[in-house]
Copies of this chain bind each other. A is one copy, B any other.
């Protein structure tokens, strides 16, 4: 069966794709965009249920796109071929590569997190920049956490820039959205120690015991840790800094802290 061809920029599907760049539209529709060959491939690898796949051969960069499209069809995706101009209008990227998918968002509850024998969880508070959130997800994946818990989310995890900067980790690392009080109660209930980072702490992050059931809490870019977590954590730690005060951003600080925990836990 040949895919439907869309050339009109006024086509309602084109309009919907453009709208899905906006958080409100994504949340209302319960959908999000997956743009790009690598991202679509990873989504399929991780069994993300792609509802619609839009493609435009004139934008393809390689030769593997038809095989990937075939794979998406097998997995149940509806296929739409776009004209070059129509694809350019929908594409989020400056240099599109001719593939754009729409998939349903998902929600994971705290109760659904599969904790390992020695729970290891990353909690991030109100991260603002999609690029930072994506990098944080990648570092959490590399460190092997059980889950990333996003408290009081400012940036939507289904933002196209998170999808992209997470290099597909969004599709595999368990991510829970919740408010701080609920997360705190859950951590206590599970007897998971709470170690939070703040530049004002006395203790160095590497002097804290990061073995056993552990959650690491990171504050937002602009405001750092909230009063709530400053008060409700078991330990506050800081990363020693040479050089200028803002050389480490929250994503870099997260990487450093997570991998110190990995080091201690493997040792």
What is the CB-to-nearest-CB distance from A132 to chain B, in angstroms, rounded to a whole number?
11
CB of A142 within 8 A of chain B? yes
Q: Which single member of B138, B241, B244, B266 contacts A168 (CB below 8 Å)? A: B244
Complex contacts, A78 vs chain B, CB 8 Å? none
CB of A169 within 8 A of chain B? yes
- How far is B206's CA from A206's CA once the two chains are assembled, in angstroms? 13
Contact A167 B247, CB 8 Å, known A143-B242, A206-B267: yes
CB of A187 within 8 A of chain B? no
**CB-based nearest B residue for A246:** B167
What is the CB-to-nearest-CB distance from A251 to chain B, in angstroms, rounded to a whole number?
8
Complex contacts, A172 vs chain B, CB 8 Å? 243-244
Query: Which A245-260 residues sit within 8 Å CB-CB of chain B?
Result: 246-249, 252, 255-256, 259-260
- How far is B38's CA from A246's CA once the two chains are assembled, in angstroms? 12
**CB-based nearest B residue for A263:** B206
Contact A252 B206, CB 8 Å, known A142-B242, A142-B243, A167-B246: no
CB of A173 within 8 A of chain B? yes
Sorted nearest first, the 4 A-B pairs with minimum C-beta distance are: A144-B242, A141-B243, A142-B247, A138-B247
The contact sample of 10 A-B pairs, CB cut-off 8 A, is A138-B247, A142-B242, A168-B244, A169-B243, A169-B247, A172-B243, A172-B244, A206-B267, A240-B262, A255-B255
